[in-house]
Amino acid sequence: MDRREFLKVTGAGALTLFLSGCGINAVSGDKKAGAAPSASGAEAKPGGVSNGKKLKIVVLCGSPHKAGTSALLADKFIEGAQAAGHEVFRFNAAFEDINPCRGCDACGMNGPCVIQDAISAKLIQKLVDCDMVALVTPLYYYGFSAQIKTVIDRFYSRTSAIHRKKSMLMATAWNSSDITFNALQEHYNTLVRYMEWQDVGRVLGYGCGSRSAIEGSEFPEQAFRIGKSL
């Protein structure tokens, strides 16, 4: 689908969101990817996600670029969310001491992780306590970056306690073909289903291989609007 079609279906998704009155997004196939609520979806009902409550939001960033394209989406989303009074904790996975899950199961899916790194020390309790998780990633080989996937796999030690949050996805890619984000969206949709998350929106930055490319696009504003209108 081209950009115009993409906007059209995300708009339709926003209507679905409004009519259904809930943001729970069923797992959708590639062709239904646009059924997800969009920036305009969140904007259609300001405060509809938080119901006026101050949200605790954890923003997980997976890019190794401090001032890259996905970092800009995170910046803008946070700017909007903070302007609306929400509390944000940002974790830049690529700049923290993090290690992958060893599958030892010492945590029993509900306890301390044996790995004493930044995920255990700084992040995991924030995830447990939060109302919303925002996943922010550059598209690396059509999936989450290894850095953010390392964090996601470590959800395991508190996986139930991280269920039933609100969530969103922001991603950027060099490519701009209609299939660019299909696999990532399929992955995110499945995560939402398994984690029983309430998807509140996604920003998919097609054709954003450089900072100047994304700065000239509508995506930063989309990220800001979602944050502002939670």
The token pair that represents 81 in the structure block: 């969310």
Query: Smaller CB distance to other proteins: residue 1 or 27?
Result: 27
Nearest approach, Cβ of residue 104 and other proteins (Å): 8
Strands 166-172, 198-205: pairing is parallel
Query: Smaller CB distance to other proteins: residue 90 or 193?
Result: 193
Nearest approach, Cβ of residue 119 and other proteins (Å): 11
Query: Smaller CB distance to other proteins: residue 72 or 226?
Result: 72
Q: Is 90 exposed, middle or buried (0-12, 13-18, 19+ CB in 10 A)?
A: middle
Nearest approach, Cβ of residue 151 and other proteins (Å): 8
Query: Smaller CB distance to other proteins: residue 42 or 94?
Result: 94
Nearest approach, Cβ of residue 45 and other proteins (Å): 29
Decide if 121 contacts 91 (C-beta within 8 A): no
Nearest approach, Cβ of residue 40 and other proteins (Å): 26
Q: Which residues bind other proteins (CB under 8 A)?
A: 27, 30, 63-65, 68, 94, 100-104, 138, 140-147, 149-150, 152-153, 155-156, 179, 182-183, 186-187, 189-191, 193-194
Nearest to 83 by CA among 204, 201, 230, 220: 230
Nearest approach, Cβ of residue 177 and other proteins (Å): 10
Query: Smaller CB distance to other proteins: residue 29 or 216?
Result: 29
Decide if 110 contacts 161 (C-beta within 8 A): yes
Side chain identity, residue 180: T
**Locus of tokens 């995560």:** 191
Query: Smaller CB distance to other proteins: residue 34 or 68?
Result: 68
Alpha helix (H) ranges present in the chain? 3-20, 39-44, 69-83, 118, 124-129, 146-153, 182-195, 211-215, 219-228
